[in-house]
Amino acid sequence: MTGSFTLQSARKIAWREARASGGKFLFVILAVAIGVGALTGVRGFSTAFRRMLNTEARTLMAGDVSARLFVQPDANQEEALLGLAKRGAQLTRITETVTMAANPANPTPLLVSLKAVDPAEYPFYGVVELDPPQPLAKALCETCAALSQELALRLGLSPGGTIRLGGKDYRVSALVVKEPDRMTGSLNVGPRMMMSRAALESTGLISLGSRAAQRFLFKLPTTGLPVAEARDRVKKIFPEALVTDYRETHPLITRGLDRATGFLSLVSLVALIIGALGVAMAMNSHLQQRLDSIAVMKCLGARSGQIIRIYLMQTLALGVAGGVLGIAFGAAVQFAFPSLIERYFQLRPEFYFDWPSMLQGMLAGVLSTLLFTLPPLLGIREIKPNAIFRRDMKGTKPSWGERWKQARAAMFSGLVILVGLGGLAGWLTGSKLAEAARLGAWFSGGLLGALLILMAFAWLLLRGIRRLSPLTRGTLRHGLANLYRPGNQAELVLVSIGIGVMFTLTIYLVQHSLLKEIAESAPPGMPNVFLIDITEPLKEGVTTLVNQQPGVEKGAELIPSVAARITHINGQAIETLDLKGFGRRFLQTRSVTWNAQQPAGTKLLAGKWFEPGASGQLAITEDTSKVLRIQLGDVIDWTASGKVIRAQVKAIYRQESVRAGATQEFIFDPATLRDLPVIYFAGLRVNATQVARLQTKLYAKYPTISVVNIADVLDIIQEVVDQVAVVIRFISAFAILGGIIILAASVAGTRFRRIREVVILKTFGGTRWKIARIFSVEFLLLGATAGLLGAALATGFTGLIMKRFFEEAEYNWQWEALVVAIVGSALIANAAGWLASARILGQKPLAILRED
């Protein structure tokens, strides 16, 4: 009785077939597993690293989101805050105010910045370091206060002493060595001190109408409330407040995190491609070997649909098995690697492996398996049953109609693969739909372009070799002939190695350019101590004194500052310009400076720096030019100490590295500002442990000069930036290693088709050495050509990526890397080919001949 061919029958046949050739199937599963493992491993590490970096960045704010306002919240706002708390957000309040404080023994009071926190909750991230060391809750008891070193110095106090505040005395419990969120405080007017909120209340300083800033600090739950959403909600609750989140505490942090996130996403995509490539090679060579079985089944009455079902089920099972193994592999790598990473990279990512990333890895593995098996599966329809009788019939020229039919199927499956991969790429980046679609389209387009170039080149190369090989002799001739012989997958191998090299090298080149940029944006010698208000007569003395102090790593660099105000721009009074918000600062007197040379750490965007001896010229920042709508050649009139100055804009620049001193928005030529009253700022680099000592010395001799010490904050920034660099380096090393393994696997994947060849060569007297040499010619040529093409494409791709995704970064040429890529891929292809063929070379021909 005839019935329908059920899925169960297909499953049965698929399973029987798979069971018998365990070894071969294991190889396919392993190839899929390596692909999926690379993807899940990279993604797992990316997530772990991103969390780690974010945690570091959060310490600069001591929380995830901060809202600062100058009034107490009303009942509605309090209720809305409760709503946030219900979603898992924690909240602590910080009060910041300015008040007078004194040493009871020396009643001259000093204006201080006072910060009151709830030590039970504050800080959510990072720690407040105290001297002598003690828990914050103990240091901030109801009758205690912790002082900054500067305040202690100025008031002549030390731990154990007493400070008077609002007419009451408090015990100095400790000196604050490190206060993570210091830079985000609003009122950094005088030296700082810290109390508990309860203690502040007891001072009686805060009453209705007092000028105190309230800072609401939120810690978000690990899942369920993304930072962007939380930030929006907080902004809605407090429309008047200044709301920020941890991603924008410092321009360097923002940029570092952006770079890291962008790079990690990029690597994930590349891992996907490299992984999919491994899967594709494995599946393709697997199905190639099934051609005879398929032809036999067709002779026995199997319809194409049935066979497709059987092999679809088989490949699906292989994909799932490989996926599961790959996930396990990815997890194992993540589990085992942190200690290794810690040893070499001085950072330890926490183990991070969750269901969504496992599911993503699994789906990506199975989907790419399916996508890449689509062409060979569709090709099943084209397999003629009489292939068993007459293999040579394949050589007959198909009609144009048949060719179009075949091309149509190939084009359709190619399109499906591209769209599918683009979709996967968009999905993996996890951004919004429109952004994901855009990225997916970019990704597919780039891949298609690269594929077309590689395929065209592979075709040309093989044609060239075909003409060339008759001119050669012996081993070389055999090796060359191997490349274009029917059944050789040279084109496919060349394209896949080329793609592999292209992506792997792209990762390296992007990494190199990013690291260079990061290193330049945060040079290790960045000033961490600033001296403010140095007058002309004190200039020499202060410089000499500080430069002689121990622990000074980079001497004082003086920046002159002249107070000046803009009156007209191109003859138009500045008051008549429509300036909004922060732009209104230009209506007031600003600090301007001069510099004959373009300062280090700036990038000239337009125009030229002043010629020696120039006068009446100035350079402005990009931001200023935008706000004031000023272009090169525009004329600005100023007033400074009663004098009128006119200067023409000669250059527009951007501050590339972050200098924590005054932002230099306007830089004049030295002649224009001559003879105007000037005060100086100085920036210097001091070993963090020696800052207090320097402060004491300076205060003793020059009490009017303020010292701003940002060493502790800068340490955190430097740490984050360093970690970004390390993460980028590590992830790229990991991806490159994955790429190499998969390259090797794609060459190894051709081993089965070589069995027959080896047998025949051996039967006719070929020695193993001779055969290995023939293969070497083939592998070396394939590897080197693919390396060359991949390297050329990588160069183009990197330039594109740096422009598109890392807008500011510049691409740096890397000749050495290109050469290493070409030679390396030739050697890897050769080594992998040898390894994969080693067992075949040792086999006795009869066993294989008998299989036929």
Partner 1 sequence: MSNPPAGSPAIAVEGLTREIATGTHTVKILKGLDFTIPHGQFVAIMGASGSGKSTLLGLLAGLDSPTAGSIRLDGVDITRLAEDEMAKVRGEKIGFVFQSYQLIPTLTAEENVLLPHELQGRREDGSARARELLEQVGLADRADHYPVQLSGGEQQRVALARAFMTAPPILLADEPTGNLDSTNGQLVLNLLVEMNRARGATLVMVTHDAELARKADRTITLRDGQVVSDQ
In one-letter notation, the amino acid at residue 62 is A
Two tokens at 768?
A: 């193993």
756 class by beta-carbon count within 10 Å (0-12 exposed, 13-18 middle, 19+ buried): middle
Residue 71 or 296 having the CB closest to partner 1:
296
CA distance linking residue 573 with residue 628, whole number of Å: 12
Two tokens at 33?
A: 């597993």
Residue 473 or 850 having the CB closest to partner 1:
850
Among left, alpha and beta (phi > 0; psi -120 to 50; other), residue 753 is alpha
Residue 304 or 589 having the CB closest to partner 1:
304
Residue 11 or 477 having the CB closest to partner 1:
11
Contact range with partner 1 by CB under 8 A, out of 135-143, 331-339, 747-755, 844-852: 844-852
CA distance linking residue 745 with residue 835, whole number of Å: 10
165 class by beta-carbon count within 10 Å (0-12 exposed, 13-18 middle, 19+ buried): buried
Residue 378 or 827 having the CB closest to partner 1:
378
389 counts as binding partner 1 under rule CB under 8 A = yes
- β pairing state of 129-131 and 168-178: antiparallel
Residue 1 or 434 having the CB closest to partner 1:
1
Which of 106, 386, 641, 704 is the binder for partner 1 (CB under 8 A)? Answer: 386
Strand partners of residue 620: 652, 666
Which of 178, 255, 298, 659 is the binder for partner 1 (CB under 8 A)? Answer: 298
Two tokens at 469?
A: 């090989």
H helices of 204-299, in order, are 227-237, 251-288, 291-299
CB of 760 to partner 1, least distance (A): 17
Binding to partner 1 by CB under 8 A, coded x per residue (else -) over 10-49, reads: --xx--xxxxxx----------------------------
Which of 211, 384, 408, 585 is the binder for partner 1 (CB under 8 A)? Answer: 384
CB of 769 to partner 1, least distance (A): 29
Taking the CA atoms of 607, 613, 616 and 622 in sequence, report the sign of the dihedral they define.
Answer: positive
Which of 4, 207, 588, 597 is the binder for partner 1 (CB under 8 A)? Answer: 4
The residues, ordered by sequence, that sit 6+ positions from 173 with a Cβ below 8 Å of its Cβ are 130, 134, 138, 139, 140, 141, 144, 145, 146, 159
Contact range with partner 1 by CB under 8 A, out of 7-15, 125-133, 368-376, 599-607: 7-15
Taking the CA atoms of 233, 238, 244 and 245 in sequence, report the sign of the dihedral they define.
Answer: negative
In one-letter notation, the amino acid at residue 161 is G
CA dihedral 415→421→424→426, nearest 10 degrees, is -80
CB of 17 to partner 1, least distance (A): 5
Q: How many CB atoms lie within 10 A of CB 552?
A: 18
CB of 334 to partner 1, least distance (A): 36
3 counts as binding partner 1 under rule CB under 8 A = yes
Residue 393 or 737 having the CB closest to partner 1:
393
CA distance linking residue 544 with residue 261, whole number of Å: 44
Contact range with partner 1 by CB under 8 A, out of 107-115, 151-159, 288-296, 554-562: 288-296
Contact range with partner 1 by CB under 8 A, out of 2-10, 113-121, 274-282, 795-803: 2-10
6 counts as binding partner 1 under rule CB under 8 A = yes
Which of 158, 210, 293, 843 is the binder for partner 1 (CB under 8 A)? Answer: 293
151 half-sphere exposure, CB direction, 13 A CA radius: 32
Which of 385, 555, 607, 796 is the binder for partner 1 (CB under 8 A)? Answer: 385
Total of chain residues touching partner 1, rule CB under 8 A: 43
Q: Which of residues 688-727 bind partner 1 (CB under 8 A)?
A: none
Residue 293 or 572 having the CB closest to partner 1:
293
Residue 373 or 602 having the CB closest to partner 1:
373
397 counts as binding partner 1 under rule CB under 8 A = yes
Which of 120, 137, 228, 296 is the binder for partner 1 (CB under 8 A)? Answer: 296
Which of 85, 120, 189, 393 is the binder for partner 1 (CB under 8 A)? Answer: 393
CB of 295 to partner 1, least distance (A): 8
598 counts as binding partner 1 under rule CB under 8 A = no
Residue 141 or 383 having the CB closest to partner 1:
383
Residue 71 or 299 having the CB closest to partner 1:
299
CB of 387 to partner 1, least distance (A): 9
Residue 4 or 76 having the CB closest to partner 1:
4
CB of 400 to partner 1, least distance (A): 12
Two tokens at 527?
A: 């000033």
CA distance linking residue 404 with residue 126, whole number of Å: 66
Residue 713 or 840 having the CB closest to partner 1:
840
Q: At what angle do helices 304-345 and 355-379 cross, to 10 degrees?
A: 140
Residue 18 or 716 having the CB closest to partner 1:
18
299 counts as binding partner 1 under rule CB under 8 A = yes
The three-class DSSP label of residue 384 is coil
Q: Which of residues 300-359 bind partner 1 (CB under 8 A)?
A: 300-306
CA distance linking residue 312 with residue 370, whole number of Å: 8
The residues, ordered by sequence, that sit 6+ positions from 309 with a Cβ below 8 Å of its Cβ are 5, 7, 10
Using the structure block, give the residue that is written with the tokens 């970064």. 809
CB of 403 to partner 1, least distance (A): 13
Q: Largest alpha-carbon pair distance within the chain?
A: 111
837 class by beta-carbon count within 10 Å (0-12 exposed, 13-18 middle, 19+ buried): buried
Residue 19 or 343 having the CB closest to partner 1:
19
CB of 445 to partner 1, least distance (A): 36
388 counts as binding partner 1 under rule CB under 8 A = yes
The residues, ordered by sequence, that sit 6+ positions from 647 with a Cβ below 8 Å of its Cβ are 616, 617, 618, 635, 636, 638, 668, 672
CA distance linking residue 160 with residue 148, whole number of Å: 14
Residue 20 or 359 having the CB closest to partner 1:
20
Q: What is the DSSP string of 806-844?
A: STT------HHHHHHHHHHHHHHHHHHHHHHHHHHHHS-
Which of 108, 222, 396, 597 is the binder for partner 1 (CB under 8 A)? Answer: 396
Contact range with partner 1 by CB under 8 A, out of 94-102, 153-161, 393-401, 645-653: 393-401
CB of 323 to partner 1, least distance (A): 23
Residues engaged in binding partner 1 (CB under 8 A): 1-6, 9, 12-13, 16-21, 292-293, 296-306, 381, 384-386, 388-390, 393, 395-397, 847, 850-852
